[in-house]
Amino acid sequence: MAFKEIAPGIHIVVGGSFPFCNTLVILDDELVVVDPGCSIESLRRFLAMHDRELRDVGTVILSHIHPDHIIHAARLNRLSSCRIAANEITAPLFNEKERMKEFLGFHKANPVRAPWENLVNERMYGALDEGRVDEVLKDGDKFQLSDITLEALMTPGHLPDHMCFEILEHNLLFAADLDCTEFGPFYGHPNSSIEDFKKSIQNVQNSDYNGIISGHLKEPVITDYRPALEAYTRQFDIRDDLVHLTIANGAKTIDEITMTPIIYPSLTNPVFLYFEKWMIEHHVGDLVVKGLVEERRGHLKAT
């Protein structure tokens, strides 16, 4: 386990890669936890080092509804009676987990809904617990503490509800799943959007931060973030090219394209296969718009 002090009162409990995430902890006049997806024991140990306990948490803030980012939110609420804050898209999804499942594409008729629920319960236990959001945040809203101010920044694409947080006094951005990982961008749901994801990345690149904080890197602070985001963005085009090549080589359907993994190194898990299919669908749509692929009677053809 690792802890990183980013600035006075601002810390990261490193969770790392999925099914965990990096958790931002602010020690100010109030104890604030953003994206409680790290190991609960790591969070407990970190707080003990600062003479705090889980029951001292005053507010939990969520960047978006993905299970790895909300794992311990309901649990912390039960332990501390803390308030939970989220944006206006995330809030009703957190309040009603059936809506959350449908939002993520796992409606009752989806054949991998049960395996996905098992994956969440086995590796992110607590993410599907019932709970309620107490404070709804909108784009540009400020969350004011004594010495630290967070400002909400909507950054859709990864999911429509994805939100980052500017730490104003230190000119930093908690970037959540604009994470600059080697895996690259994730947009594995029907309502994800490559176009919106690119726009959100571009908005961050055009801003002048002292650094961004990744939701999944083991070394979470990226000071030279523009080239990191540029490399991250190139993954969209690389994947576009691979999908186009696969269609040019004779693949006529999404199922045929995913016979050979493009995004995931292995597709032995049915849930990850579904994530791959949804991402490939986004790329096919992108290629159709660009005029590089045409779809006729359910079959794909490179032009």
Per-residue H/E/C for the chain: CEEEEEECCEEEEECCCCCCCCEEEEECCCEEEECCCCCHHHHHHHHHHCCCCHHHCCEEECCCCCHHHHCCHHHHHHHHCCEEEEECCHHHHHHCHHHHHHHCCCCCCCCCHHHHHHHHHHHCCCCCCCCCCCEEECCCCEEECCCCEEEEEECCCCCCCCEEEEEHHHCEEEEECCCCCCCCCCCCCCCCCHHHHHHHHHHHHCCCCCEEEECCCCCCEECCHHHHHHHHHHHHHHHHHHHHHHHHCCCCCHHHHCCCCCCCCCCCCHHHHHHHHHHHHHHHHHHHHCCCEEEECCEEEEC
**Last residue of a domain, which of 196, 223, 250?**
223
pLDDT of residue 233: 98
Q: Are residues 41 and 173 in the same domain?
A: yes
**Has residue 77 been placed in a domain?**
yes
Question: What CATH number does the domain containing 270 carry?
Answer: 1.10.10
The CATH number covering residue 55 comes to 3.60.15.10
The answer to whether position 282 is within a domain reads yes
Q: Is residue 275 one of the residues assigned to a domain?
A: yes
Q: Which residues does the chain have with pLDDT short of 70?
A: 1
Same structural domain, 218 and 164: yes
**0.95 surpassed by pTM:** yes
Q: Are 242 and 200 members of one domain?
A: no
Residue 50 placed within a domain: yes
Q: Are residues 131 and 239 in the same domain?
A: no
Both 28 and 115 in a single domain?
Answer: yes
Task: Look at residue 108 and tell me if it is in a domain.
Answer: yes
- Within-domain flag for 230: no
Same domain, 219 and 269: no
User: Is 55 among the domain residues?
Assistant: yes
Say whether both 291 and 167 belong to one domain.
Answer: no
Mark which of 223, 250, 266 sits at the end of a domain: 223
Determine the pLDDT at residue 1.
Answer: 61
> Could you tell me if residue 71 is inside a domain?
yes
256 and 147 share a domain?
no
Determine the structural domain holding residue 298 and report its residue range.
235-302
Q: Do 239 and 202 belong together in one domain?
A: no
Domains held by the chain: number: 2
109 and 177 housed in the same domain: yes
* Residues 104 and 253 placed together within one structural domain of the fold: no
Domain co-membership, 90 together with 211: yes
Considering 223, 253, 279, which residue would you say is the last residue of a domain?
Answer: 223
